[in-house]
Amino acid sequence: MNALKIVGVILIVAGVIGLATGGFSYTKETHKADIGPIHIGVAETKDVNVPLWAGLGAIVAGIVLLVLPRK
């Protein structure tokens, strides 16, 4: 397999995962105050939504790369 075909498969898989899950979340820890030896921190959960058009676009781009004839 050449590099374009591998990228095409990766785009298709990423697009399907993006459509299936709709997004992902991560936790970000921030330090709010340092008072002497006491450190006060806050853990915030951030949500990132993957738009429908981005998932479909990745799938279409992956299919194009797989079908594209090699010159």
The predicted-structure confidence for 44-53, as pLDDT tens digits, reads as follows 899 999 899 9
Number of neighbouring beta carbons within 10 Å of residue 9 = 14
Token pair 């936790």: residue: 27
Chain segment 22-69, per-residue pLDDT in tens: 888 999 888 778 788 888 888 889 999 989 999 999 999 999 999 987
| Residue-level pLDDT at 71 | 67
| Cα→Cα distances 3→25, 57, 62, 65, 70, Å | 30, 19, 12, 10, 11
pTM for the structure as a whole: 0.69
Is residue 4 pLDDT above 80, yes or no? yes
Q: Looking at residues 3-21, what average pLDDT do you find?
A: 92
Closest listed residue to residue 11, CA positions, set 24, 19, 26: 19
Backbone angles phi, psi at 58, to 5 degrees: -65, -40
Name the nearest CA neighbour of 60 among 12, 7, 2.
12
